[in-house]
């Protein structure tokens, strides 16, 4: 695939009711806000929330699916800005904003089904 400045791509991930549990097992992040709905409600979160790094993994997966090779993703960063709830739908929109020295810089928008940014200042670098 040829990567060009201005190119766009999208991805969508549905957070199923088990996602935070699966991610807890893989990451070791068993914080009660991720696995215990009653605890999440007690601390004012309206239930469990997805681990932030799992949300970032959704963004990274969208980039690697588009790039066609997970090894091409060389860098990704973000600011965590809003909790992702179980059953949310996360939409990722990527745009190639710069190409330089064998890499493409991609800016990403990551929002929930209400259009709220759940990650901000999301940037990735992909080998071209």
3 inside domain: no
* 11-57 per-position pLDDT tens digit: 999 999 999 999 999 999 999 999 999 999 999 999 999 999 999 99
Give the Cα separation of 121 and 4 in Å (integer): 21
In this prediction, residue 2 has a pLDDT band, given cuts at 50, 70 and 90, of confident
d(CA 114, CA 119): 14
Distances (CA, A) of 28 to 24, 25, 90, 117, 119: 5, 5, 23, 26, 22
58 part of a folded domain: yes
User: What's the CATH number where 108 sits?
Assistant: 3.10.129.10
Q: Are 126 and 106 in contact (CB under 8 A)?
A: yes
**Please, what is the average pLDDT of the chain?**
97
Q: Is 1 domain-assigned?
A: no
Task: Say yes or no to pLDDT of 1 above 80.
Answer: no
CB-neighbour burial class of residue 35 (10 A; exposed 0-12, middle 13-18, buried 19+): middle
In this prediction, residue 65 has a pLDDT band, given cuts at 50, 70 and 90, of very high
Q: How far apart are CA 78 and CA 110, in angstroms?
A: 10
What pLDDT, on the 0 to 100 scale, is given for residue 57? 97
Q: Which domain holds residue 89?
A: 8-127
Residue pLDDT, tens place only, 108-121: 999 999 999 999 99
27 lies in a domain?
A: yes
Q: Does some domain include residue 2? A: no
């Amino acid at each position: 695939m040829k990567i060009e400045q201005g190119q766009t791509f999208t991805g969508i991930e549905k957070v199923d009711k088990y996602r935070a549990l699966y991610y807890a097992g893989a990451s070791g992040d068993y914080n009660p806000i991720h696995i215990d709905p009653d605890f999440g409600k007690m601390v004012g979160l309206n239930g469990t929330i997805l681990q932030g790094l799992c949300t970032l993994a959704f963004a990274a997966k969208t980039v690697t699916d588009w790039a066609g090779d997970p090894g091409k993703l060389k860098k990704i960063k973000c600011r965590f800005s809003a909790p992702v709830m179980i059953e949310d739908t996360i939409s990722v929109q990527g745009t190639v904003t710069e190409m330089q020295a064998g890499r493409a810089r991609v800016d990403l928008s990551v929002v929930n089904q209400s259009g709220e940014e759940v990650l901000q200042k999301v940037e990735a670098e992909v080998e071209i």
